[in-house]
Amino acid sequence: MSLSPHPFPPQSWAGIDDVVIVGGGLAGLFCALKLAPRPVTIITAAPIGEGSSSGWAQGGIAAAMDPGDTVENHVADTIAAGAGLVEGAIARGMAEEAAARIHDLLSYGVPFDRDLEGRLTLSREAAHSHRRVVRVGGDSAGAAIMQALIRAVRETSSIRVLEGFVAESLKAEGSYVTGLIARDRRGGLSARMLLPTRAIVLASGGIGHLYSVTTNPQEARGEGLGMAARAGALVADAEFVQFHPTAVDVGRDPAPLATEALRGEGAAIVDRNGHRFMFDIHEAGELAPRDIVARGVHQARHSGRGAFLDCREAVGAEFPERFPTVFAACMEAGIDPRVTPIPIAPAAHYHMGGIHVDGLGRSSLDGLWACGEVSSTGAHGANRLASNSLLEAVVFAARIAEDVQGLLPNHRMVRWSDESTADTAAGLPNEDALLERLRRLMDAAVGVVRSREGLEAALAEMDAIRATARQPSLLNSLTAAKLIAVAALRREESRGAHFRSDFPHPQPEEAHRRFLTLAKADAIAKGAIAAFQETSRHADLA
């Protein structure tokens, strides 16, 4: 899809509204629709409908809407998955508002699947005690939801969408965020502009693309998180990155996902000898919690035994009808999953950590809100329950819209920034190579299995990459990566999605959320780099 034409030429950008949403995924679009008719500008790196995890969601949205289900059940399952770190009140509020938000989505035209009597079809996913996930077209929920929302956004005249603009930094005066600097990347242009703001809503998605094996689009590289931290915002739970155990390993970047529902249907995880090894690790086998399956698959691959998802018996000939998205991805890679086991790898999938926000979606900085994957509300704790992330995105987007509605409009001027553009065009190929170096490093040392030694070495290497990086986008990504590595170093235990080979068990005294500012992370990183240099010196002398 080509970028849509500029809505109006830059010269005439006087009196722009001052609510700016960064991100055109589910969180950003839903927030903009909820704000209507208040004017709002959405800034998005990729055209809406592309470059967002939302469009790729396969399962659906969790909501306790079955007559046999309750909000209490949903909260209990969310708390159990979160390994001791879920904020109970936040999880409860989210579960309570789920039905209302599903009705909003229906009113925007989302064609959720229904049964013959017209009731919403609810499917069951791993770690949910009830059938609770509303979906569309089998495994195509995200694409269908986004299509409906994009249509609604295009029809709403109060929403201005700037596609191909990359947000680079927040302008802060003390603890007040007063503007956003964004770069126009359309058609090779590279001018920067400053948008004065009363309210910025960061809805820029996750961090998966900081890893070389990921299910996330390339725009999900932690730029929003890094930008907020660089402006001084508090960050929560950054160490908790969920790895999906069954990404399809066919050398594609990002890796296609073999949805969890396949295992729910009975698909087996086997090594190259056909051994169903997950039962050696956990009594629930393939249906063990996501982090345990991810480590099992990681181990099998690292020991050379390989890991495959065998769907031949469980799904077989029905594959194309029942799982069309996965089927198409496999066939494109030359694998017919009806007759051949699918090679799999764990892939960075979802970030439980992010910009710390309260129950209204407010960050620690005035004028800055965050929702969707870039935020950390405390709803997911140390491990996300499947299909709770789209729910969290719409619940908090709606709350933020209500909060922001209370601000008085104040139309101001957009300025094109005087700052030179030389820092982008000149260094691009090198910057791409630096990003790839960072992604490989994150996989190797900040991935499924972590250790003090590896994390200290990773922080030293990040520092070396940082020394040559120039582009603000890359600096934002490096900042996000550093926050994850420092938080992982600081949590000396294993809990939920965070596993330390040198501290393989949970520690009861660590059963609480942890927060970081960038200044604190820098201080910890400095100590870690010194420790790494000391160890390397001793190794050289030995």
Ligand X SMILES: Cc1cc2nc3c(=O)[nH]c(=O)nc-3n(C[C@H](O)[C@H](O)[C@H](O)COP(=O)(O)OP(=O)(O)OC[C@H]3O[C@@H](n4cnc5c(N)ncnc54)[C@H](O)[C@@H]3O)c2cc1C
Residues that bind ligand X (CB under 6 A): 22-28, 43-46, 51-54, 56-61, 141-142, 166-167, 203-205, 215-216, 219-220, 223-224, 257, 350, 372-374, 387-390, 393
Shorter beta-carbon distance to ligand X: residue 57 or 153: 57
Is the preceding omega at residue 254 within 30 degrees of 0, hence cis?
yes
Tokens linked to 534? 């000391």
Please give the Cα distance from 530 to 460 (Å, whole number). 9
Shortest Å distance, C-beta 503 to ligand X:
28
Shorter beta-carbon distance to ligand X: residue 377 or 387: 387
Three-state SS at 384: coil
Shorter beta-carbon distance to ligand X: residue 22 or 231: 22
Q: Which of 92, 192, 290, 495 is catalytic?
A: 290
Shortest CA distance to 18 belongs to which of 416, 415, 412? 412
Is the preceding omega at residue 37 within 30 degrees of 0, hence cis?
yes
Please give the Cα distance from 475 to 482 (Å, whole number). 10
Three-state SS at 211: coil
The distance from CA 299 to its chain's CA centroid, rounded to whole angstroms, is 24
Shortest Å distance, C-beta 174 to ligand X:
24
Contacting residues for 471 by C-beta, under 8 A, at least 6 apart: 423, 424, 427, 428, 431
Shortest Å distance, C-beta 536 to ligand X:
35
Shorter beta-carbon distance to ligand X: residue 25 or 454: 25
Task: Provide Rg for the chain, Cα atoms.
Answer: 22
In the DSSP assignment, the letter for residue 343 is E
- Judged on CB neighbours under 10 Å (0-12, 13-18, 19+), 88 is middle
Shortest Å distance, C-beta 26 to ligand X:
4
Quick check: 297 and 345 in contact, CB under 8 A? yes
Shorter beta-carbon distance to ligand X: residue 161 or 489: 161
Shortest Å distance, C-beta 476 to ligand X:
7
Shortest Å distance, C-beta 186 to ligand X:
12
Place of tokens 């998966």: 208
Shorter beta-carbon distance to ligand X: residue 41 or 364: 41
Shortest Å distance, C-beta 390 to ligand X:
3
Shorter beta-carbon distance to ligand X: residue 41 or 216: 216
Shortest Å distance, C-beta 372 to ligand X:
2
Phi, psi values for residue 60, rounded to 5°:
155, -150
Phi, psi values for residue 318, rounded to 5°:
-80, 0
Quick check: 259 and 58 in contact, CB under 8 A? yes
Quick check: 302 and 449 in contact, CB under 8 A? no
Cα angle vertex 190, ends 169, 21, to 5°? 40
**Catalytic site includes residue 290:** yes
Tokens linked to 166? 């990359």
Beta bridge partners of residue 262, listed in sequence order: none
Shorter beta-carbon distance to ligand X: residue 41 or 389: 389
* Catalytic (active-site) positions: 290
